[in-house]
Amino acid sequence: MSEKTNTPCKTITIALTGASGMPYGIRLLEILLRQRYRVYLLYSQAAQIVAQQEMGLILSSRPKETEASLSEYFKVAPGLLSVFGREEWFAPVASGSNPADAMVICPCTMGTLSAVAVGMSQRLIERAADVMLKEKRPLIVVPREMPFSIIHLENMLKLAHAGATILPANPGFYQQPETIQDIVDFVVARILDHLGVAHELMPRWGE
């Protein structure tokens, strides 16, 4: 299996919001941590509800509790995962002087997408995304909605013009997936490709 030749990111911010599709974000988190990438994790209040509903996963309102529990669950070394609160403005991701190498909003609600598109940084997630755009660093947005209204589409176009990658959670089926995990891995594999992170989640086309 071929690997991407571009230099991978070292520190990646993952933002979980309240759209359906939480398994995508958690699987992405798992792969990055197991490959020993440093991850900054942010999540919205709605994401806490969706995580429990879709996965039975408790994301505590106390970030350090989530940091400890997820580090233990994924068996990662201390310091690889840092979880920040919604208004923790002293977090590294809040400033262009210390940004992550890349950021992924997965899954991304239309509310978060619109806030980022218009630069309305009222929460840390939106501010972190704004930092990525202004510092010209990779921002990958994984919207999970259907159908898209013209407002959604215009906001996606605005973000694409600003330098973001719009990567909808639209799995392909040419790999003949047999499980839900196969479907999840298809989307996560495409995210990893755009981050320059090597993986073996799925065969590559033509191999």
Residue 44 known to bind ligand: yes
Task: For residue 68, tell me if it sits in a domain.
Answer: yes
Neighbour tally for 163: CB within 10 Å: 14
Q: Helices 150-162 and 110-117: crossing angle, nearest 10°?
A: 50
Q: What is the pLDDT of residues 6-29, one digit of tens each?
A: 445 599 999 999 999 999 999 999
> Which tokens is 95 given?
């400033």
Q: What is the pLDDT of residues 173-206, one digit of tens each?
A: 998 999 999 999 999 999 999 999 999 998 888 8
Task: For residue 6, tell me if it sits in a domain.
Answer: no
Task: For residue 3, tell me if it sits in a domain.
Answer: no
Above 90 in pLDDT, residue 157?
A: yes
Residue 94 known to bind ligand: no
Return the residue matching tokens 């009222």: 122
Task: For residue 2, tell me if it sits in a domain.
Answer: no
Residue 17 known to bind ligand: no
Q: What is the 3-state secondary structure (H, E, C) of 141-175?
A: EEECCCCCCHHHHHHHHHHHHHCCEECCCCCCCCC
Residue percentage of the chain with pLDDT more than 90: 89
- The residue range of the domain holding 66 is 11-195
Residue 19 known to bind ligand: yes
Task: For residue 91, tell me if it sits in a domain.
Answer: yes
Going by C-alpha positions, the residue among 94, 98, 82 that lies closest to residue 32 is 82
Q: What is the pLDDT of residues 59-80, one digit of tens each?
A: 999 999 999 999 999 998 888 9
Task: For residue 200, tell me if it sits in a domain.
Answer: no
Residue 20 known to bind ligand: yes
Residue 82 known to bind ligand: no
Identify the CATH number of the domain in which residue 38 sits: 3.40.50.1950
Q: How many domains does the chain have?
A: 1
Question: Rounded to an integer, what distance in angstroms lies between the CA atom of residue 173 and that of residue 20?
Answer: 20
Task: For residue 102, tell me if it sits in a domain.
Answer: yes
Residue 179 known to bind ligand: no
Residue 43 known to bind ligand: no
Residue 18 known to bind ligand: yes
Going by C-alpha positions, the residue among 16, 6, 23 that lies closest to residue 39 is 16
55 or 99: which leads in pLDDT: 55
Task: For residue 184, tell me if it sits in a domain.
Answer: yes
C-alpha atoms less than 13 angstroms from C-alpha of 189 in its C-beta half-sphere: 18
